[in-house]
Amino acid sequence: MKGEPTGRARRVCVLVSRFNAIVTDRLRQGAHERLTDRGVSPGDIETVTVPGAWELPLAAKIAAESGFEAIVALGCVVRGETAHFELVWRAAAEGLARVQEETGVPVGQGLLTPENLEQGMARSGGVVGNAGASAADAALEMAELREKMRSQLAPDDPVEAGKDQDRGPKAARARGTRHAHSRARSWALQILYAWDLSGRPANLTEFARRELSFRRISARYRPHTERVLRLVEERLDQIDRILEQVADNWRIERMGAIDRNVIRIGMAELFWLDEVPPAVAIDEAVNLAERYGGKGSPRFVNGILDAARKRGSPAAPTAAGSVSTDDNGDGGSA
């Protein structure tokens, strides 16, 4: 398994240090050209300038918590005769690595540490290549690999699997269904997120059909993925109205893209899929927020969905599913 540096439907943040701008501006140009060559829409590239390399980690953390799928960090720290060089570049490099580890958002590292500006010029579009372009490729490749690993390698809990075997084939089948539905929710979120950030270029059903084909999702996960997305499309206006009503002082456009789309999926299952118990719908949405959102996402998602649940059923059953008004969480499989 490996990732490919593809930028289709990805939102990327490019962070550029202003210090040694004669080099970093060339790094930025190289990164932008490579991102667009790989299929990233120019409108999905957000460029942020920071004072120097020291400030890159904080900017990267903010970008990671704001819904970007990949980050490219560019800077140039020229070696000098004092310890300042060591202090700055080491803190910047370690900080960027920490952001990547803590948030799960790939950070392409384009931080140059040349002996002089001439070496920096050579590595920013000169004879040695462009480190900005290489950092962009690394970020895109890891973004795709992250999706593949999360969707294909998440193992079943061996302890729970053993318990299911003891309980018999019915329990094992139920666990298999829960696992498939959890994977399906992850795919639904990725597609809904891409559609939302792409400016909703087509109706969601058509967009999802193309994405499902492009991403080669297993037939085991497709039915629930399609069902959830169809429900979100049919009930989007209603879901968003409820969301704004229960989210005090939060407008939808101010919410993180991951958070609002996790909530949309959670509400679709909460109110219009009778087979999914309310407690399970909320728990699964919180799990999505933990995997893909920022530090405060799980609590935010849980609070919104719990408030929506307490409001009660918003509408009558639809063809795609039926409204559940059981607040006790009893019901079928997830």
Shared-domain flag, residues 59 and 75: yes
One domain for residues 38 and 74: yes
Domain span at residue 78 reads 12-148
Active site residue 84: yes
SS3 label, residue 244: helix
Which whole number is the average pLDDT over 217-224?
82
Q: What is the pLDDT of residues 267-301, one digit of tens each?
A: 999 999 988 999 999 999 999 999 888 888 899 99
- pLDDT tens sequence across 161-209: 344 444 444 433 344 456 678 888 988 998 998 888 878 877 898 888 8
Residues 167 and 240 in one domain: yes
316, pLDDT greater than 60:
no
pLDDT at 325 over 60: no
Span 147-164, mean pLDDT? 52
136/201 same-domain check: no
Domain boundary among 130, 148, 166: 148
- 136 and 166, same structural domain? no
* Long-range contact set of residues 325-332: C-beta below 8 Å, sequence gap at least 24: 326/277, 326/278, 327/278, 329/277, 329/278, 329/279, 329/280, 330/277, 331/274, 331/275, 331/276, 331/277, 331/280, 332/274, 332/275, 332/276, 332/277
Three-class SS state of 81: coil
pTM for the complete prediction?
Answer: 0.51
pLDDT of residue 199: 82
Is the CA virtual torsion 258, 301, 260, 50 positive or negative?
negative
CATH of the domain at 161: 1.10.940.10
* 317 part of a folded domain: no
The pLDDT value recorded for residue 220 is 82
For 327, list phi and psi in degrees, rounded to 5.
-85, 0
Does any domain span residue 327? Answer: no
Note the pLDDT of residue 252: 85
The residue among 113, 148, 183 that closes a domain is 148
Distances in whole angstroms, Cα of residue 231 to Cα of each of 59, 184, 212: 36, 14, 16
pLDDT-derived band at 131 (thresholds 50, 70, 90) equals very high
Tell me: do 241 and 167 sit in the same domain.
yes
Q: What H or E segment, with its residue span, contains residue 100?
A: helix 84-103
Alpha-carbon span 186 to 239, nearest angstrom: 19
Write out the two tokens for 4: 């490919």
Bridge partner residues of 318 (DSSP): 321
**Is the same domain home to 190 and 130?**
no
- The enclosing domain of 116 has a CATH number of 3.40.50.960
Catalytic option among 84, 179, 181, 224: 84
User: Can you tell me the distance from the alpha carbon of 7 to that of 44, in angstroms, rounded to the nearest whole number?
Assistant: 10
Of 53, 301, 41, 48, residue with least CA distance to 194: 41
Q: Each residue of 35-51: pLDDT tens digit?
A: 999 988 888 899 999 99
Span 121-128, average pLDDT? 92
Distances (CA, A) of 196 to 206, 232, 240, 252, 308: 13, 12, 13, 12, 22
Amino acid at 288: L
Are 141 and 5 spatial neighbours (Cβ–Cβ below 8 Å)? yes
What's the total number of domains in the chain? Answer: 2
Q: Between 297-311 and 257-272, two packed helices, what is the crossing angle to 10 degrees? A: 30
